[in-house]
Amino acid sequence: MPSGFESFNLIYNSTHHIFTLIKQTEYRHMTMTLTEQLNAHRKKRHALEQLFLFARQLVVAGEGMGAVQCAALPSQTLGAQQAQQLESLIANYDVINTERLKQELRDTDQLLASELKAILKIAEISEQSFNAHFKADSADTVNATLKKLYRRLQTFKTRAQNNLAIRSVLHQRGMPVAAIKLPVSQELLADQVKSLHQKEKSYRSKIQAAVQSILMDTTAILQSGHYPQAINDKMAETQQQLQQTLDHLDKGGRLDQLPFTIELDLNDSDYAVHALAQPNQAQQQEQEPAELAATENDESPPPSSDTAIEEQSIEPDSKPGFFYLLRCWLSTPPSVSWQDIKRQEARKAKHAKPKADRNGPPH
């Protein structure tokens, strides 16, 4: 039978062991909670970024279509807002000779008419439909695709506004200018422009709500006192940027001209709770730089902007659908039009024959 001192030691050791287990459990629970909180913040940020990317596409698509709509009117008269937006463009074109302007107008007329149907269809893409077709891609890849799409829509808008500015200059010089011929009716185009404005208002409300939600989460993280200083510094910067973004939206500021990028300059690595790392994570953390370097070395260089359509490696499973053509289009230089892609795919489909047909009947 153990003595009183030995019994005390047994009880003390047992109690100390239980207390240690409880503290370890609390520590693991706290680590899990903080990590989950940061993961939730990161997911909300990615969702907000996608909302913003969709919203600014609506803005530029609407402005581009609005310019085309005006160019298709018999009068081709600029509204007060359009005249102000195009003032510098008109001044630039006013120093160019008339014949060159006429040629530029013919070229842009053809480009705009050839791409309008695709732009109309792109403008109708919902978040759900887009994510469904690109579900195999990561969130970052999807957002990168949206950025490429935005640049294409921006190109369309620029061409449309250039076209309208040229028309204005030619009208001022007393030259007769025929309205642009479109593959769709004026009524359909007008309805789409109106729809885009309504969607833009809806996205403004969604973005405001998302910013407010992330702002509340960011404030909670800062007030918790549980995070390393590096994360707190990033969150404080994020808090300031979110508030300024919210103020910009509340004042009716443009969705494509936010005071700060909605991406918030936060990388996934900024969410790592380094100060809460368990001892057995040290070896894994030490290996990260080497693994990262190996990953970077394995990355293939980005494709050249001069890559021809014929070199596209994407192969459709069947007849090319809209989203397949969209992927092809976004992977080509801006000089490649939607119609170029469709013609290229039509040629590929025409020449793609079963081996039995090419080699003759089997013997």
Write the pLDDT tens digit of every residue in 247-295: 999 999 988 887 765 554 445 455 544 434 333 333 334 333 333 333 3
**117-132: burial string, b at 16+ Cβ within 10 Å, e else:** ebbbebbebeeeebee
pLDDT of res. 60:
92
Report if residue 178 sits inside a domain: yes
Same domain for 239 and 91 = yes
Q: Are residues 27 and 81 in the same domain?
A: yes
Q: Is 301 helix (H, G, I), strand (E, B) or coil?
A: coil
User: Which string of DSSP letters, residue by residue, matches 181-213?
Assistant: P-SS-HHHHHHHHHHHHHHHHHHHHHHHHHHHH
CB 99 within 8 A of CB 168: no
Residue 291, SS3 per DSSP: helix
What are 39's two structure tokens?
A: 């993961």
Q: Is residue 131 part of a domain?
A: yes
What percentage of residues in the chain have a pLDDT greater than 70? 71
**280: its two tokens:** 């057995």
Q: Which residue has the higher pLDDT, 27 or 336?
A: 336
Specify if 135 maps to a domain.
Answer: yes
296-323: average pLDDT: 45
pLDDT for 353 equals 57
Domain boundary among 202, 234, 265: 265
pLDDT in tens, 130-181: 888 887 787 778 888 888 888 999 999 999 999 999 999 999 999 989 999 9
Q: Specify if 18 maps to a domain.
A: yes
Q: Give residue-wise pLDDT tens across range 196-248.
A: 999 999 999 999 999 999 999 899 888 888 888 888 898 898 899 899 999 99
Domain final residue pick, 230, 247, 265: 265
Whether residue 164 is found in the same domain as residue 246: yes
Residue 276 counted as domain residue: no
Q: Is residue 285 domain-resident? A: no
How many distinct structural domains can be found in the chain? 2
Residues 82, 186: one domain?
yes
DSSP 51-118: HHHHHHHHHHHHHHHHHHHHHHSSS-PPPHHHHHHTHHHHHHHTTS-HHHHHHHHHHHHHHHHHHHHH
Tell me: the pLDDT tens digits for 88-137? 899 999 999 999 999 999 999 999 998 898 898 888 887 788 888 887 78
Q: CA of 62: how far to CAs of 189, 190, 296, in Å?
A: 10, 10, 39
Whether residues 100 and 216 fall in one domain: yes
Angstrom distance (rounded) from CA 55 to CA 42: 20
What is the mean predicted confidence (pLDDT) over 36-47? 84
- CB 20: neighbour CB atoms within 10 A? 10
Residue 340 structural domain: 309-353
Three-class SS string for 101-118? HHHHHHHHHHHHHHHHHH
Does residue 102 form part of some domain?
Answer: yes
Domain identity same for 245 and 320? no
Q: Among the three residues 205, 236, 265, which one is the final residue of a domain in this structure?
A: 265
Confidence of residue 333 (pLDDT cuts 50, 70, 90): confident
Q: How far apart are CA 152 and CA 134, in angstroms?
A: 18
- 71-90 pLDDT per residue, tens: 998 887 777 777 788 888 99
Task: Give domain status of residue 91, yes or no.
Answer: yes
Burial of 256 (0-12, 13-18, 19+ CB in 10 A): middle
pLDDT at 306 over 90: no
